[in-house]
Structure 1
Amino acid sequence: MRPGALVYDKASGRYDIRFGLDEYYGGLHCGQCFEVFDGEQWRATRIEMNLHQKWYLVGIKTDVLDGLQVRDSRHR
């Protein structure tokens, strides 16, 4: 699994995974699963949006998603 960083795409209103300068996953959707590095280990999570239109990661306690190190099995 290839690591990348979560970035917010203002044009689409969605988060994306950035793998390089010009290489992106293609936009994340509610319920999409991946892993996030919590500083010690990789943890499985999924991205969701709450009733206030705010994105969050299930089981990950943080208010800042931008820049989190993540990996997805689509890019091996």
Structure 2
Amino acid sequence: MKQGTLIFDEQADRYDIRFDLADYYGGLHCGETFDVLAGGRWRPTRIEMADNWYLVGIRTDDLSGLRVRI
């Protein structure tokens, strides 16, 4: 598994995972699954879109900067 940080790609209007300065996942799509570091432990989740992007089972107002692994 690779670890990275969630970032919002404004051009694509979707979230992506940044692994390194020039290494990106390539854009996340609804239903994609990964783990997020929440409360000091890794939790499985998936990304979805309604009015805004959100992670199923994860309470947060801002997804940008969250540590993830995929």
TM range (shorter): over 0.9
Give the 4+ runs in structure 1 shifted more than 4 A: none
CA distance in 2, matches of 1:45, 1:20: 22
Q: Which has the higher strand share?
A: 2
TM-score, normalised via structure 2 length: 0.97
Q: State the 1:2 CA deviation.
A: 1.5
Stretches of structure 1 lacking an aligned partner (at least 5 in a row): none
CA distance in 1, matches of 2:46, 2:22: 24
Q: Is residue 6 of structure 2 the alignment partner of residue 6 of structure 1? A: yes
Structural mapping, 1:56-67, within 5 Å: 56-67=54-65
Stretches of structure 2 lacking an aligned partner (at least 5 in a row): none
**Could you tell me which residue of structure 2 aligns to residue 45 of structure 1?**
45
Q: How many residues align?
A: 70
% same residue: 60
